[in-house]
Amino acid sequence: MYKTLIATSLLALTATLAYAEEKTLYLAGYGGSTETLFKKMIIPKWEKRTGAKVVYVSGNSTDTLAKLRAQEGAQEIDIAFVDDGPMTQAINFGYCETVNKDTFTDLYDAARMPENKAVGVGIVATGLAYNKDFFAKRGWDAPTSWADLADPKYKGLIAVPPITNGYGLHALIMAAKINGGGEANIEPGFEMFKSQIDKNVLVYEPSSGKMSELFQNGEIALSVWGSGRLKSLADSGFPGAFSYPKEGAVNLLLAACPVVNSDVPQLAQNFLKFIVSPEIQQYFAVEKGWGPVNRKTELTNAQMGALPVGPKRVDKLVTIDYTLVNKARGDWTKKWTRQIER
């Protein structure tokens, strides 16, 4: 009898552990403040609603893509959360399942990725950030075009990230586009940087922290930057402003996909729908400076700031064809290093 009770208890314990294991979701996403936001505010809410558990696997987009490649055929990750460039690679490699159709019901079209294999979780607009006080003292109007980067009056007053950074890559592509090129013909962009923009650039700065310092120290008046970064700087009291160029700011989409062969596919889909809900999108906008992908997200004017909110901004964003860019980016980087950042 005693042995029977032990055996029964062990079977029950094994079943409980198996059930608990089935209810664990592995989420690979950014580290730093994003990981903190998920762990402190977002994950606890979802765990309480579902009874499931989330294990957060932190790393940048390149790290997460590398994990997906290393685990190919035996994926441990259930949801991958990366930038749109690496996400396009993940989709092309076949790592992403199709997102449930109803997840997109209230979302902007800009939140869609190829074949609905991933969903946008936040939108960052790449445009022109500038110091309003500096411009006012010089009697300058706000910048309105990507072509303004070549204006001689800005000589030595501009910072542009290198093209290993998303913002710099977008600047190169837009320079190509306004000169008749684009992702499939990048040469006009290189030519504009070499002959017109480079002479205005004080530094090709990859660090957002350093970019903030350059603005605060009065070393630069204008930069190519993200809407969220500028909003964070402006929220600190700096007289910063953000311009959406007339040719279009660039859509930098922070995206998530349900990974193929997940052992908790329904949980993965449920979590994705949860993080694009108006409630969570508001968290992302306020805490991270990401423009909401959900049309029903409510923000005050102060919370909105420079963020891409509403169809007047979101629907005019330029979407980059990363299927073309990812194939050529290595060669572009080598050329950039030789010809621009010498």
Same-domain status, 151 and 285 = no
Instruction: Give the span between the Cα atoms of 161 and 204, in whole angstroms.
Output: 5
Q: Which of 228, 223, 205 is nearest to 125 (CA)?
A: 228
Q: Where are the alpha helices (DSSP H) in the chain?
A: 2-22, 32-37, 43-50, 61-70, 84-92, 132-138, 166-177, 187-192, 208-216, 227-235, 265-275, 278-283, 301-304, 311-314, 322-339
Express each pLDDT in 153-175 by its tens digit.
999 999 999 999 999 999 999 99
The residue among 121 and 20 whose pLDDT is bigger is 121
Query: Can you give the pLDDT at residue 22?
Result: 52
Do 207 and 327 have their domain in common?
A: yes
Statement: residue 4 has pLDDT above 70: no
| Strands 250-258 and 119-131, bridge-based pairing | antiparallel
Q: Say yes or no: 98 and 140 in one domain.
A: no
pLDDT at 20 exceeding the cut of 80: no
Same domain? For 130 and 189 the reply is: yes
Residues 155, 291 within the same domain: no
**Res 17: pLDDT:** 37
The pLDDT value given to residue 342: 72
For residues 207 and 288, give the distance between their C-alpha atoms in angstroms, rounded to a whole number.
17
How far apart CA 126 and CA 129 sit, in angstroms, is 9
Q: How many domains does the chain have?
A: 2
User: Does residue 273 carry a pLDDT above 90?
Assistant: yes
- Considering the domain architecture, whether residues 130 and 219 belong to the same structural domain is answered as yes
Q: Can you tell me the distance from the alpha carbon of 228 to that of 231, in angstroms, rounded to the nearest whole number?
A: 5
Give the domain CATH number at 61.
Answer: 3.40.190.10
CA 65 to CA 89: how far, in whole Å? 8
SS3 of residue 51 by DSSP: coil
**Domain enclosing residue 325, as ranges:** 124-250+321-339
Task: Kindly report the pTM of this predicted structure.
Answer: 0.88
The pLDDT value given to residue 200? 98
Q: Are 199 and 334 part of one and the same domain? A: yes
Query: Do both 135 and 264 map to the same domain?
Result: no
In a domain, 315, yes or no: no
Same domain assignment for residues 243 and 256: no
pLDDT tens, position by position, 290-326: 999 999 999 999 999 899 999 999 999 999 999 999 9
Same domain, 208 and 165: yes
Residue 281 has pLDDT above 50, yes or no: yes
